């Protein structure tokens, strides 16, 4: 449980880097969720909660992207290495297998 708690906080720091409001909101939400379920004793429920927390970490790491308003009508996206993937080249004439 502690390992996952720390992992969520590390992921939060990477995902929301340089965004103090988002960092603080994510910190509070993580801490609140773990605190609310601190007294849980059912092994089945604990495993379910751990699965949810692990899924949240994956979604944060792979789906959330930062954006910065640079002008009234422009937004600059700041991708992380976790989000960048190799792209498959486009082929006008696909090959048959």
Give the distance from CA 44 to its chain's centroid. Answer: 25
The model's pTM is: 0.73
User: pLDDT value at position 83?
Assistant: 74
User: pLDDT value at position 20?
Assistant: 92
According to DSSP, the residues that pair with 76 across neighbouring strands are 68
Question: Residue 62 pLDDT more than 70?
Answer: yes
DSSP character string of 26-93: HHHHHHHHHHHTTT---HHHHHHHHHHHHHHHHHHHHH--EEEEEETTEEEEE--TTT--PPPPP-SS
Question: Residue 66 pLDDT more than 80?
Answer: yes
For residue range 73-86, what is the model confidence (pLDDT) as tens digits? 888 888 777 777 67
Mean pLDDT of 45-66: 91
């Amino acid at each position: 449980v502690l390992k996952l708690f720390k992992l969520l906080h590390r992921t939060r720091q990477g995902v929301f880097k340089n965004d103090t409001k988002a960092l603080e909101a994510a910190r509070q939400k993580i801490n609140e969720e773990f605190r609310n379920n601190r007294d849980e004793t059912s092994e089945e429920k604990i495993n379910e909660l751990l699965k949810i927390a692990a899924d949240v970490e994956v979604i944060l790491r792979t789906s959330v992207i930062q954006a910065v308003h640079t002008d009234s009508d422009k937004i600059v996206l700041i991708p992380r290495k976790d989000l960048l993937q190799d792209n498959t080249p486009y082929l006008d004439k696909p090959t048959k297998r």
